[in-house]
Structure 1
């Protein structure tokens, strides 16, 4: 399968951890993200907040871009990071806003 037809998980770790790719693509994005009980926009906001609070900046890059696709604005995402500074900690918010600045610059 060519890189252009692979999921991001397949591109990153498909040859190294195929089971984790199966779970990521099939369960997480194929089932959980498709459930009707929350909108994709809400799921993105929750996911971004969770990644910020856990300090998971590597995964934050992709999820900020997905959040934009799912209807969150740059202003809303920056405001979420500012809000989380007081709950997750200043260093995590500063790291997150740095990642957001990089991601949003690519969108311009």
Structure 2
């Protein structure tokens, strides 16, 4: 699963992101990097049941609802590779407002605007 996980992780997050994560790894967090590459990317994200777009949408909803803003930003950047559109992201945030709360959605809008502006500038 490790090879499949790394391939999927690179396809979703991009080589530059994965290379930075690996380069920044040390003996303390290397087992964590192995875990997420194998479990998240190899076992979950690599399943063929849902396309990457759907996984991206679900992941963003969960991360927004839980307030994991750095991860939200990372997965917003990944939408360029997963096929989730900005309209999809807006719909995610509307769902978050109703099911997880307006404050979470309000912050998600700010994070999305900032990330999309950064992406547009590149």
Q: TM-score range by the shorter chain?
A: 0.7 to 0.9
- The answer to whether the 8 Å contact 2:93/2:108 transfers is yes
User: Which ranges in structure 2 are unaligned for 5 or more consecutive residues?
Assistant: 1-14
1:22-75 Cα offsets, whole Å, 9 max, x none, are 011222112321111111111111100000111111110111111232111112
List, as ranges, runs of 4+ consecutive aligned residues in structure 1 with deviation greater than 6 Å.
Answer: none
Q: 1:79 and 1:34, CA in 2 relative to 1: closer, same or farther beyond 3 A?
A: same
User: Which structure's relative contact order is higher, taking Cα pairs within 8 Å and 6+ residues apart?
Assistant: 2
In structure 2, distance between residues paired with 1:5 and 1:59: 12
The count of aligned residue pairs is 105
Query: Aligned runs of 1:1-108 on 2, under 5 Å?
Result: 4=16, 6-12=18-24, 14-15=25-26, 16-108=28-120
Alignment TM-score, normalising by the size of structure 1: 0.85
User: Which ranges in structure 1 are unaligned for 5 or more consecutive residues?
Assistant: none
The CA RMSD measured in Å over matched residues stands at: 2.1
Any idea what SS the aligned residue of 1:81 has?
Answer: helix
Q: 1:99 and 1:55, CA in 2 relative to 1: closer, same or farther beyond 3 A?
A: same
Alignment TM-score, normalising by the size of structure 2: 0.76
